[in-house]
């Protein structure tokens, strides 16, 4: 139902090598990507690596038409998994083509795009929650009681090594720890962290 870029003279044909980033999360694009051939990965990159893969797409297909329809930034990173050929259709030209469709078709496409974007945002949100749960579990597992009965965790390893144990990027670990601190679930400075609300932390851990 979407107008194909093969009939759009302004579409720019490009070739990208495997590993090339085609679209970044939170990026507000000025064009819409159509994959002629090849395979791409969709997910969440951290420190230049696709840490969480949400899907694999093969051409021919639109890659980010849903977010373009709703004028939203990309919810995922899009990376070439193989050598790909794609076209970049200017956003205004893409929307002009949509306006030529019957109104009923436009409404249907917007409804489908809204559902797709919500599902994608939910999947990305669950990834963040999963990272919080793993971090909370690790803190509780390594907690020890001090003389007053309070729980403390001594970080005897570098955060990079701890992050590797949890299967997340170091920047993700730092972000999660910051969020836990802001919610009053951990406190302290340096290598010793206090757990003032272990019951609440167990809820984050899923227990």
What's the whole-model pTM score? 0.64
- 8 has pLDDT over 60: no
Among left, alpha and beta (phi > 0; psi -120 to 50; other), residue 87 is: beta
> Cα–Cα distance between 1 and 105 in angstroms, integer?
8
What is the residue whose two structure tokens read 């050598």?
Answer: 83
What is the residue whose two structure tokens read 């670990």?
Answer: 173
Q: How confident is the model at residue 167 (pLDDT cuts 50, 70, 90)?
A: confident
> Cα–Cα distance between 146 and 152 in angstroms, integer?
7
- 9 has pLDDT over 70: no
Contact 69, 110 (CB under 8 A): yes
Q: Distances in Å between the alpha carbon of 87 and those of 18, 41, 162, 202?
A: 16, 17, 41, 48
Tell me, what's the pLDDT at 10? 59
Tell me, what's the pLDDT at 7? 52
Percent of the residues in the chain that have a pLDDT greater than 90, as a whole number = 54
Q: How many CB atoms lie within 10 A of CB 129?
A: 11
- 170 has pLDDT over 90: no
- 3 has pLDDT over 60: no
């Amino acid at each position: 139902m979407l107008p194909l870029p093969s009939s759009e003279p302004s579409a720019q044909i490009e070739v990208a090598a495997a590993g090339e980033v085609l679209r970044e999360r939170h990026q507000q694009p000025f064009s819409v990507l159509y994959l002629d051939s090849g395979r791409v990965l969709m997910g969440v990159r951290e420190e230049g690596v696709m840490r969480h893969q949400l899907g694999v797409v093969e051409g021919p297909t639109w890659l980010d038409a849903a977010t373009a329809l709703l004028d939203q930034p990309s919810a995922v990173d899009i990376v070439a998994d193989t050598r790909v050929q794609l076209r970049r259709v200017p956003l205004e030209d893409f929307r002009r083509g949509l306006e030529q469709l019957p109104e009923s078709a436009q409404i249907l496409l917007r409804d489908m795009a809204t559902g797709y974007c919500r599902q994608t945002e939910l999947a990305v949100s669950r990834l963040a929650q999963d990272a919080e749960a793993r971090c909370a579990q690790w803190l509780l597992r390594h907690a020890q009681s001090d003389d007053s009965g309070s729980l403390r965790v001594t970080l005897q390893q570098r955060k990079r090594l701890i992050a590797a144990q949890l299967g997340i990027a170091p920047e993700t670990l730092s972000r999660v720890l910051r969020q836990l601190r802001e919610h009053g679930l951990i406190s302290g400075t340096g290598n010793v962290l206090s757990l003032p609300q272990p019951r609440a932390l167990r809820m984050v851990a899923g227990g």
